Structure 1
Amino acid sequence: MRIIGGKLKGLRLNPPKNLPVRPTTDLAKEALFNILQNQIEFESLTVLDLFSGTGNIAMEFASRGAEKVTGVDRSVHCVHYLKDASRQHGLTQIEAFKSDVFKYLAIETLQYDLIFADPPYDLNRIPEIPKIIFDRQLLKPGGVLIVEHQSMQNLSNHPAFTEQRKYGHSSFSFFQYHNEPPHS
């Protein structure tokens, strides 16, 4: 696992072997960031990394200059690793919280430019993630939600779905407001 771009490009991450994670592969991560590189400015980005695990994605965004990155994971060991690695590598814009993602989303009030969710593939609540995020208006106008999931799973029935990109057994589904978000 390595950082593939930005100020920490090439840095190898060596999280403890006992973390309860399935990190995004370097191949899939590289493909994802190649897509994003052509669509967004990393420098002013606010990012919410759900099911952050090792913090691999959070650190990639921070390395590329994201303004603020919030990682959420229910494993205290993952949160400690992300906090320690962020401190060690000077990624001061990363905050990490230990929380159940669904409980966190139920009380979160901030809006983000980009939300990345990499839930456990066997989680049966994956289709709820876009629904909650759009119902709670947690994306800024023009913001993007990316959900990583098994390629055989289909999330295209949500109205904000835009595309699915497959990388072997993993896929990224992209969601974005087609117009402006609804106003309450």
Structure 2
Amino acid sequence: MRIVSGQFKGRRITAPKKLPVRPTTDMAKEALFNILNNLYYFDSVSVLDLFSGTGNISYEFASRGTEHITAVDENFGCIKFINETADSFDMTINTIKSDVFTYLEKAKTPFTIIFADPPYDFPLEEFSKIPDLVFKNNLLESNGVLIVEHSKHTKLSELEHYSHSKSYGGNMFSFFQIASDEEE
């Protein structure tokens, strides 16, 4: 995998083969960041990277100037790899070794962008817990977005707060937002 843009554009990152991960493809990642680039100034957002795996998404935000990044994964090897990689690039990424659902239950700080990349084979009930917990616990800023990466075979359009989806090959990104009438 490589960093697509920003200060570390073109840098390759090679994760240990033993990590239980499926990194977001460079093509899908580039398309996602093109969308986000039109919505946000990366140096003024806070990011929560759930099921962070190799830290692929966190590095991309950090390379583009985001300073407030929290990466959550339950695998010690993933957290260790993110810490080592972030240190080697002098990136500030706060890592938390935790089950994502436990973290979402206890978290108090809202974020501008929450990105979740759970296992593609999650049952729909597990996928639905992500937006449920994010919105129940007010973890998204009013102008924020929750993005859930999933297989094109998983349909999240019936979930509450769903906004739209974008498809890139076999990858889908579903976007969830606070409806404008909920902000009042």
Counterpart secondary structure, 2:85: helix
Paired letter, 2:36: L
1:8 aligns with 2:8: yes
Identity %: 49
Code of the residue aligned with 1:136 in structure 2: it is N
Distance 1:181 1:72 in 2: 28
Aligned to 1:102: 101
8 Å CA contact retained: 1:137, 1:181: no
Q: Which runs of 5+ in 2 are unaligned?
A: none
Query: What aligned pairs does 1:17-166 form with structure 2 within 5 A after superposition?
Result: 17-92=17-92, 94-124=93-123, 125-166=126-167
Distance 2:34 2:90 in 1: 24
Aligned residues: 182
TM-score, normalised with respect to structure 1:
0.95
- Structure 1 spans left out of the alignment, 5+ residues: none
TM-score by length of 2: 0.95
Residue 167 in structure 1 maps to residue 163 in structure 2: no
1:181 to partner: Cα distance: 4.6
Q: Which residue type is aligned with residue 111 of structure 1?
A: P
Amino acid at match of 2:109: L
Q: Which amino acid aligns with 1:63?
A: S
Paired amino acid for 1:86: A
SS at match of 1:80: helix
**Stretches of 4+ moved more than 4 A in 1?**
180-183
Q: 3-state DSSP class of the match of 2:127?
A: coil
SS at match of 1:11: coil
Shift in Å, 1:182: 6.1
Greater fraction helix = 2
Deviation at 1:162, TM superposition (A): 1.1
Letter in 2 for 1:171: M
2:44 partner SS: coil
Q: Is the 8 A contact 1:141 1:180 kept in 2?
A: no
Return the alpha-carbon distance in structure 2 between the equivalents of residues 48 and 181 of structure 1. 22
Is this contact kept in 1: 2:131–2:160, CA < 8 A?
no
What does the per-residue CA deviation read over 1:8-63, in whole Å, with 9 as the maximum and x for residues that have no partner? 11110011111000000001001101111111110111000000000000010011
RMSD: 1.2
CA contact (8 A) 2:45 2:66 kept: yes
Matching residue's letter, 2:18: N
**Cα deviation digits, residues 98-125 of structure 1 (max 9, x gap):** 1000001010000000000000011220
Q: Are 1:141 and 1:181, in contact at CA under 8 Å, matched by a contact in 2?
A: no
CA distance in 1: counterparts of 2:183 and 2:143, whole angstroms: 13
Whole-Å Cα distance in 1 between the matches of residues 48 and 181 of structure 2?
20
C-alpha distance 181-112 of structure 1, shift in aligned 2 (>3 A): farther
